[in-house]
Amino acid sequence: MLYRGQCDIAAIHLLDPASQEYNLPFIHQLFVYENIAVMRFAARQQGFIVAKGNPKNIHHFTDLTRKDVQFVNRQKGAGTRFLLDSMLSSHRINPSKISGYANEEWNHLSAASYINRSMADVAFGIQSAASHLGLDFVPVAQEKFDLVFRFTTENKAHLMSIIHYLQSASFKESLTDLEGYSIQDLGKIIYQTSQTEELV
């Protein structure tokens, strides 16, 4: 939608399988002539959401293929699904071997609720969703969560105000309940086109 000009800001957390780099490879492919800036928002833990005590002893992607393990997935197009599929590919695991792989949910909390209601044994998602429902979490990877700003003549002043607010000490100090998240680089501009005003 950002590429099509249907919004001004978009969030992105996509791992490029070839470079193992987050977000920027996709940015470079999509935005050639547009005036954009990419801000690091957070880094967050992704991993296995399991029942309290991890009764099925799930620690590795190979555990997902066990006959006694029921999985719940995120929908196609989600960054978490993209990461999962990349990890499965790197471990040479065929998704057809995972019971429940085709069962899709549209957000982390919905996927985690399957575990909470004993409708599945494991989901792949973020630590905060597990904590919110009192579930256990097995960390697997840390992903980079960024914001992409697309500047136009009409929105530039507004976007600059938002960027300055996100970079402010008062905003950072207002953030609480950050289990599974790191905001060490919050507000850092990690990429901007030459046409964009210097933001760093």
Strand ranges (DSSP E) for 77-135?
104-105, 122-126
At residue 178, the pLDDT reads 81
Going from N- to C-terminal start, the domains of the chain cover 9-41+145-192, 45-142
pLDDT tens across 171-196, in order?
A: 999 998 788 999 999 999 999 987 66
CATH topology of domain 45-142: D-Maltodextrin-Binding Protein; domain 2 (3.40.190)
At residue 163, the pLDDT reads 97
- Give the mean pLDDT of 1-13: 95
**Reported pTM:** 0.84
In sequence order, the 6+-apart residues with CB closer than 8 A to the CB of 97 are 65
Q: Which of 39, 28, 40 is nearest to 3 (CA)?
A: 28
Amino acid at residue number 52: K
- Asked whether 94 and 123 are in contact (CB, 8 A), the reply is no
CA-CA distance, 39 to 164, in Å (whole number)? 11
pLDDT tens across 39-59, in order?
A: 999 999 999 999 999 999 999
Q: Which of 193, 140, 159, 171 is nearest to 41 (CA)?
A: 171
Can you say whether residue 27 is alpha, beta or left, with left for phi > 0 and alpha for psi between -120 and 50 degrees?
alpha
Structure confidence at residue 199 as a pLDDT band (50, 70, 90): low
At residue 196, the pLDDT reads 66
pLDDT > 70: percent of the chain: 97
Residue 200 has pLDDT above 60, yes or no: no
3-state DSSP call for residue 146? Answer: strand
